[in-house]
Amino acid sequence: MRKIIIAIDGYSACGKSSTAKMVAEALGYIYIDSGAMYRAVTLYFHEHHVTLSNEREVEKALEGISIEFKRHDDGLHTYLNGMNVEDEIRKMYVSQNVSEVSALAAVRRQMVGQQQKMGKHKGVVMDGRDIGTVVFPDAELKVFMMAEMSVRAYRRQLELLNKQQMLNLDEIVENLEKRDHIDSTRAESPLTQAEDALILDTTNLTLEEQADIVVGMALERILDDSKKLV
């Protein structure tokens, strides 16, 4: 069967990553978490005290960064310069700085280039903020996910609790609102819905329902494309 690219964009904590993982599994595709790449850069900049306003310093730091994904029993883990940073990049101090880091043009250039290489052979589900607009504007299926803030905050709280991090809902809402604002108002490829993206409101959906809907859309696209080829 012909392979396609599935781009899943949307606000933080709408269930993009979990849905994308399940869709990739169902279709036998590779899942790429583009947010994890921006988080890994943020961690590196934090550890190396990079001044974000200093372009040369940022460019130089980017030369020292290599990001990979490796398969573990519980899914893909993010590696930064050979170190497994999967847990570290999900911590609050990274979440609090990642939007500023991912707004930098040099950072985006580098990450977008790597992401495009990863999708060269198709058969990829990638989630993020600019996947359907900038990284893969020709993706065969684009989904834009959203959900009510209270639901997003609750889901993020549960996710963090599973990682032994206890945060109250107010703190989470504050972080999500700040990131929504920065992500959607930044000059460099802001979070916007691609014109040809299908909107998926996950407020009242379970994870399984969300994934089923996207798999269904993907199969429709794959079959439509196969018919066109006949």
Residue 155 is a binding residue for ligand DC (CB under 6 A): no
Residue 11 touching ligand DC (CB under 6 A):
no
Nearest to 20 by CA among 106, 134, 178, 141: 141
- Shortest distance, CB of residue 19 to ligand DC, whole angstroms? 12
Please state, in angstroms and rounded to a whole number, the distance separating the CA atoms of residues 135 and 139. 9
Cα three-residue angle 87-16-45, rounded to 5 degrees = 40
Shortest Å distance, C-beta 55 to ligand DC = 18
Which CB, 1 or 105, lies closer to ligand DC? 105
Site string for ligand DC, 43-82 (x = CB under 6 A): ----------------------------------------
What b-and-e string marks burial along 192-202, b requiring 16 or more CB atoms within 10 Å of the CB?
bbbeebeebeb
How many residues does this entry show for the chain?
230
Q: Which is nearer to ligand DC, 2 or 72 (CB)?
A: 72
Nearer to ligand DC, 86 or 130 (CB): 130
Token couple for 168: 């109250």
Nearer to ligand DC, 65 or 131 (CB): 131
Identify the CA nearest to 108 among candidates 7, 188, 17: 188
Cβ-Cβ contacts under 8 Å for 200 (sequence gap 6 or more): 143, 144, 145, 146, 210, 213, 214
Using rule CB under 6 A, residue 86 touches ligand DC? no
3 state DSSP class of 155 = helix
35 binds ligand DC per the rule CB under 6 A: yes
Can residue 175 be called a binding residue for ligand DC (CB under 6 A)?
no
Task: Tell whether residue 12 is a contact of ligand DC (CB under 6 A).
Answer: yes
> Going residue by residue from 101 to 130, which x/- string records binding to ligand DC, judged by CB under 6 A?
-x-------------------------xxx
Residues forming the site for ligand DC (CB under 6 A): 12, 34-35, 38-39, 98-99, 102, 128-131, 179, 183
